[in-house]
Amino acid sequence: MSQFSEISPFDITDNLFELIGKDWALLTAKNGDGCNTMTISWGGAGIMWNKPVAFTLIRPQRFTYGLVENGEYFTLSFYDEKYREALQLCGTKSGRDIDKVKETGLTPVFDEAAPYFEEARLVLVCRKLYAQDLDKNSALVENAVLPFYGEDDWHRMYISEIVKVLKK
Ligand SMILES: Cc1cc2nc3c(=O)[nH]c(=O)nc-3n(C[C@H](O)[C@H](O)[C@H](O)COP(=O)(O)O)c2cc1C
């Protein structure tokens, strides 16, 4: 039986700055019959178009980018500190080169919408609503923004409805 219970996004009590920026998250999407996952530590969550949403930013060279582009759903999942090494690996190796499920030993759960991992302590199932590429011409404070785009690899920002929250 699943150890997760479904809660409302409004009942998430974690500090989102800690959760995203310090704990990091795995962004996971379907890859054929399997899945791929990558670590993220930028983004946010809030309200947009009267819906609870997540803001995620993916650079175009990520293998995960194509998977997110091709699908309607993905998940964001959060872990205890003991999984830091797994998150480090998922944030430094590409699914083009290795099977991250095999390498990390994480256990995929194939939710009807999108995959996540049994080891997570919190999972957000996200449905893409809006995507837009960040661009140089929109940077208002150039020295805060441009240093992150030396390779001209501007993130695509996705605003996604949080359609389900699972918590242990
Ligand atoms: C702590 C951490 C945070 C990261 N945050 C992001 C992010 O928000 N957006 C992004 O595009 N890449 C981010 N990355 C880089 C990707 O996780 C990394 O390039 C990964 O290997 C991509 O895997 P893939 O090619 O299988 O998609 C982050 C990496 C780390 C270690």
So what's the pLDDT on residue 111?
87
State pLDDT tens for residues 17-34. Answer: 999 999 999 999 999 999
State pLDDT tens for residues 40-75. Answer: 999 999 999 999 999 999 999 999 999 999 999 999
Q: Is 37 in the pocket of ligand 1 (CB under 6 A)?
A: no
Q: Please give the Cα distance from 13 to 33 (Å, whole number).
A: 34
Residue 2 has pLDDT above 90, yes or no: no
Residue 151 has pLDDT above 70, yes or no: yes
Which residues does 47 contact at the CB level (< 8 Å), separation at least 6?
A: 53
Query: Please, what is the end-to-end C-alpha distance for the chain in angstroms?
Result: 12
Whose CA is closest to 86, among 98, 104, 100?
Answer: 104
Q: Please give the Cα distance from 159 to 166 (Å, whole number).
A: 19
| C-alpha dist (Å) from residue 54 to 67, 98, 124 | 18, 28, 9
Q: Is 62 in the pocket of ligand 1 (CB under 6 A)?
A: yes
The predicted model scores a pTM of 0.98
Average pLDDT of 138-151?
97
Query: Which of 62, 79, 84, 98, when mutated, tests ligand 1's pocket best, judged by the most ligand atoms within 8 Å of its CB?
Result: 62
% of the chain surpassing 70 pLDDT:
99
Q: What is the DSSP string of 41-88?
A: ---EEEEETTEEEEEEEE-TTSHHHHHHHH-SEEEEEE--GGGHHHHH
Residue 141 has pLDDT above 90, yes or no: yes
Q: How many whole angstroms from 1 Cα to the centroid of ligand 1? A: 32
Please answer whether residues 63 and 27 qualify as being in contact, where contact means their C-beta atoms are separated by less than 8 angstroms: no
So what's the pLDDT on residue 1?
64
Local structure of residue 31 (DSSP, 8 states): E
Q: Please give the Cα distance from 44 to 101 (Å, whole number).
A: 25
Local structure of residue 97 (DSSP, 8 states): T
| Mean confidence (pLDDT) of the chain | 97
Q: How many whole angstroms from 91 Cα to the centroid of ligand 1? A: 4
So what's the pLDDT on residue 8?
98
State pLDDT tens for residues 92-125. Answer: 999 999 999 999 999 999 988 999 999 999 999 9
Q: Is 2 in the pocket of ligand 1 (CB under 6 A)?
A: no
Domains, in order of start, for the chain = 5-167 (2.30.110.10)
Q: Is 64 in the pocket of ligand 1 (CB under 6 A)?
A: yes
Cα-trace Rg, the chain: 15
So what's the pLDDT on residue 146?
98
